[in-house]
A and B are shown apart, each in its own frame.
Chain A
């Protein structure tokens, strides 16, 4: 029993309650201070938990309600390597975001920090929980805090993004809860390991399939996987930059991680016979997301919206790693989303600096208007997104690509293409904004989004810029430099091997039996994946230069315009896509898993 385990949830929620009660009577810096101290503490606890999960999970039963004779009645937090890592990343992103917003907003009421803290508490709970219903509760708490944070600020644009966010995510959560209800009806359990043990003996009948479909779809909505991604681009485009950092860096990653976190302990038993078909479905979803996210990112002029589509593309690559259903590819996804999440967070903060200076994050309007220092950060971030060896995310992608054997040998090519599109979009924007290359008219990219505040450009004091750029640089250094941690890929694979060993994991959670300690090793990246990484980076630079100096008129074709028009911004359309997506996924399950 480890007393540290509940603290990442308890600390932010308690601090939020106290701050909500007394914040209005205290000076503004008090909120900044509380949020900063709590997020640094949560980061530190996350790192400590991560170092303790090397040999076994940390299982914490609230109120001491331990399972008796293998039957869990209590509610558990089950901290594995991926959960602890994502929890630490969430704390770090929050700390950077708080430091950044200290100088970003002209004025924030105390409620901004209250909302941030509630969001952090929900994120931590979601990352650490080992109980299916608690996953739903923390998911909803995340959504509720996020709706309010998306709408934070007084420009007219945020409202539509906040509405789309709330309604689409609301439906995602209902589907999840519906699935939970069905699984509880079958097994009488809510603990993940307990449900899994109860289902393991049976076969994959209709109820298990529908339960799996609904639960997975609920998480995929949160992760922003095509065709459930529409809300995400709208919400990011309108939320304040320091808030986007938390969405992009950790919320989407957690949604994705939850798919693996639930699949392996719960469904891997009854669905084991259908692994081939399931692999095909999940990899297809991931590939479509990766390519569509990259392509849409390339067609954006609003930088925050561009980064939203970059997120969708990168999450797609992560889903491919989960969908391959092997320990190595799962470890690859964990490394990939953690490293990439930090880089995306850093890029969003750099965009925030731009907004603070020239009151716009429009690629064409901001041509030649960026600070050189930000330009360096942005370009490094763009190359990291493309996966240039040996940055942090490269090792993750290499594990995913090298895990693609058998009929999936084509995957490195597709993932390279997706990375070229995402990286190329970011480098194109970097070239135009920070070097002034290219033209400031590109009709293909459409009208300017989310009209900026009609204000004169502000000239924030030097001190503010230093604080803002330092928080961005810190995230970038951690995200890119993760690769320097010796043996990190091996540790990730060891953790993933434990995750996918369902019977041993169930015995660990329900009977407290220590898992067999196998130290797995990660193979060094193969020549193919190094070549894929180099090709992605070179391709991204080439694509950016081509776009800057060749123009984008060649893209003004009907399919491209149709694709852009699909992202209509109307919430009723998005719910239609959500329904159609779940129906299609269900049909694929029925056909493939018969």
Chain B
């Protein structure tokens, strides 16, 4: 078992967080959010990976052949769908912010505070 995919997943999460925290542009910020989310794809796929295993399609292969875990692949697919929905909505909100306020800097959008 290799630790590399797990290290990559953590790295993506941290980089995405860093990007969001330091972001000065909403589109950049939302893309960084997606980068952070892609860490979960890597993690899930790494969890289900098995060395020298085939894809989990059990037609025409002998019984007992090693296969990767299909459950995590289904989870990843669901995760991707969720991620795209959130991405699309947040980008739509970002566009509306620009139309109304003429800026995409998170620090300059009029906000409720205090």
Contact = CB atoms under 8 A, between A and B. Distances in A.
Contacts of A171: 17, 20, 33, 36
Interface in A106-142: 133, 137, 140-141
Interface in B27-60: 29-30, 33, 36-37, 39-40, 43-44, 47
A572 B90 contact: no
Given A174-B13, A181-B47, A449 B112 contact: yes
A238 interface: yes
B89 A148 contact: yes
Given A140-B82, A144-B86, A572 B113 contact: no
A284 interface: no
Contacts of A579: 17, 21
A541 B93 CA distance: 42
A30 interface: no
A178 B97 contact: no
A234 B111 contact: yes
A157 interface: yes
Nearest to B100: A156
Contacts of A177: 40, 44, 79
B67 interface: no
Q: Is the interface of A mostly helix, strand, loop or mixed?
A: helix
Interface string B1-43: 0000000010001000100111100100110010011011001
Contacts of B109: 159-160, 163
User: What range describes how many residues of B lie at the interface?
Assistant: 35 or more
A270 B12 CA distance: 29
Interface in B66-114: 69, 71-72, 75, 78-79, 82, 85-86, 89-90, 93-94, 96-97, 100-101, 106-107, 109-114
B96 to A, nearest CB: 6
B47 A160 contact: no
Contact of A572 (B9, B13, B106): B106
B68 to A, nearest CB: 13
Contacts of B69: 188
B47 A184 contact: yes
B97 A159 contact: yes
A56 interface: no
Contacts of A572: 20-23, 29, 106-107
A55 interface: no
Interface residues of A, number: 52
B21 A167 contact: no
A567 B17 contact: no
Contacts of B22: 572
A137 B78 CA distance: 8
Contacts of B113: 567-569
Given A140-B82, A144-B85, A151-B96, A446 B114 contact: yes
Nearest to B89: A147
Contacts of B78: 133, 137
A170 B112 contact: no
Given A144-B86, A160-B110, A564-B114, A571 B93 contact: no
B75 A571 contact: no
Contacts of B72: 181, 184
B99 to A, nearest CB: 10
B106 A157 contact: no
A444 to B, nearest CB: 10
Contacts of B33: 167, 170-171
A305 interface: yes
Nearest to B40: A177
A276 B89 CA distance: 43
Contacts of A567: 113-114
Interface of A: 133, 137, 140-141, 143-144, 147-148, 151, 156-157, 159-163, 166-167, 170-171, 173-174, 177-178, 181-182, 184-185, 188, 190, 233-234, 237-238, 299, 302, 305, 446-447, 449-450, 564-565, 567-572, 575-576, 579
